[in-house]
Amino acid sequence: MPSFGLTLIPITSLANPNFAMKVTVFSAKPFEQDYYHQADDRGLQLQFESAPLSVATAALATGSQAISIFTNDDASAPVLDLLQQLGVQSIAIRAAGFNNIDCEHAKKLGLRVANVPAYSPYAVAEHTVAMILALNRKLIQADRQIRAYNFELDELIGFDLHGKRVGIIGLGQIGAIVAQIMHGFGCTILGSDPVVNATLQTRFGVEYMSVEELCSQADIITLHAPLNDHTQHLVNKNLIEQMKPGVMLINTGRGALLHTTEVMEALKTGKIGYLGMDVYEHEKDLFFYDHSQNIPLDDTFARLLSFKNVLITGHQGFLTKTALQNITDTTLYNLACWNQQQASENELFPQAVPANLHIY
């Protein structure tokens, strides 16, 4: 193996326009594979692997020049080192968020990394609103009752959304659409974001304020900020203390935006009245797999499931046909760019290909 672990493709491959770049697709789901039928036309040979990327599975990328990963794959430094030794040159993540990739290390190793910056903010925003409606109007419990022929209404009382104050933390692509939809319900929109969007102020009357101020005023709080060093455990004991009693908290961003055990304590006291989560701090190895025959090992998760006022979905906010098509199109585009030795504009950082290394 060469010292930099690079797989050198014979010169004949470079001259052949039909040369297929091999790509190992980690965490591949059966429903995704139907969307990738155009891969051949783009000169890409995809190898689908259901296993997530990790130190233990990185070897599945042997012989591949690129890989594709999803949100819970482990692209930490040791895994990136292994990939580079195998000759992998580039990583296409099939998501907008990329907090699972050690970008600094990837940059150091000369790996190209690209994401899908926007595939359908509507998908996640609409799922967020679905959670708000389902929790408020107790739709899951109502459905259970009806199937048991229990038509009593006592446990099903909701509240009017009209006139309520909705606090949105992170008013980027997704948060802005949540603002638009909730404004349509007649809610007052409070926002917290280091970047003020004047259009949102004008069109939906978004009132910008600090996250603490937002929490003290909002009836519903929803999180749409990225997960990073500044936002990890943003919702913790201190912030919860400032919230209104019985507040509804929704997280479709990333699990670790919440300090889960401190949120759970607040559920026990009733300080948090409703919790909707599409993401979970410890979702890796739990979400996206069928564990129905296994002993539940995560006590925090099991306890969360015991609350009637908690609604959990397993990271499906993105899961619409439109979003899947857009994710596929952009991922294939990123890979095709690399196959043609071009940079994709979706790369997370510029990466120079050394002149003497013609990989594909």
**In this complex, which beta carbon is closest to ligand NAI, that of residue 7 or of residue 320?**
320
d(CA 342, CA 232): 35
Backbone dihedral region for residue 27 (phi beyond 0: left; psi -120 to 50: alpha; all else: beta): left
Task: Give yes or no for a contact between 224 and 170, defined as CB atoms under 8 angstroms apart.
Answer: yes
Site string for ligand NAI, 76-105 (x = CB under 6 A): --------------------xx--------
* Residue with the CB atom nearest ligand NAI in the bound state: 172
Q: Which stretch binds ligand NAI (CB under 6 A): 10-18, 21-29, 169-177, 212-220?
A: 169-177
Contact partners, residue 131, CB within 8 Å, separation at least 6: 250, 252, 276, 278, 311, 313
**In this complex, which beta carbon is closest to ligand NAI, that of residue 27 or of residue 252?**
252
Catalytic residue from among 283, 303, 347, 358 = 283
User: What's the N-to-C CA distance of the chain in angstroms?
Assistant: 17
Task: Give yes or no for a contact between 235 and 265, defined as CB atoms under 8 angstroms apart.
Answer: no
Residue 223 tokens read as 């999180």
**Is residue 327 a contact point for ligand NAI (CB under 6 A)?**
no
Q: Which of 38, 60, 52 is nearest to 332 (CA)?
A: 38
d(CA 274, CA 246): 7
Cβ-in-10-Å burial (0-12, 13-18, 19+) of 104 comes to exposed
Cβ-in-10-Å burial (0-12, 13-18, 19+) of 163 comes to exposed
Residue 270 tokens read as 């009733």
Judged by CB under 6 A, how many residues of this single chain contact ligand NAI?
29
Most distant CA atoms of the chain, gap in Å: 74
Residue 235 tokens read as 């919702």
**Is residue 252 a contact point for ligand NAI (CB under 6 A)?**
yes
d(CA 18, CA 236): 54
**Which residue in 75, 134, 225, 240 binds ligand NAI (CB under 6 A)?**
225
**Which residue in 318, 326, 346, 359 binds ligand NAI (CB under 6 A)?**
318
- Nearest approach, Cβ of 306 to ligand NAI (angstroms)? 23
185-204 residues near ligand NAI, rule: CB under 6 A: 192-195
Catalytic residue from among 32, 254, 259, 281 = 254
**Is residue 138 a contact point for ligand NAI (CB under 6 A)?**
no
**Which residue in 24, 89, 231, 334 binds ligand NAI (CB under 6 A)?**
231
**Which residue in 32, 73, 278, 283 binds ligand NAI (CB under 6 A)?**
278
- Nearest approach, Cβ of 215 to ligand NAI (angstroms)? 12
**Is residue 121 a contact point for ligand NAI (CB under 6 A)?**
yes
Residue 35 tokens read as 């969307």
- Nearest approach, Cβ of 37 to ligand NAI (angstroms)? 24
**Which residue in 315, 326, 337, 359 binds ligand NAI (CB under 6 A)?**
315
**Is residue 174 a contact point for ligand NAI (CB under 6 A)?**
yes
Active site residue 42: no
Task: Give yes or no for a contact between 72 and 287, defined as CB atoms under 8 angstroms apart.
Answer: yes
Active site residue 283: yes
Active site residue 254: yes
- Nearest approach, Cβ of 226 to ligand NAI (angstroms)? 3
Q: Which stretch binds ligand NAI (CB under 6 A): 148-156, 225-233, 264-272, 332-340?
A: 225-233
* Main-chain dihedrals φ then ψ at residue 181, nearest 5 degrees: -65, -45
Give the interface with ligand NAI as residue ranges (CB under 6 A). 96-97, 121, 124, 169-175, 192-195, 224-227, 230-231, 252-254, 278-279, 315, 317-318
Catalytic residue set: 254, 283, 315
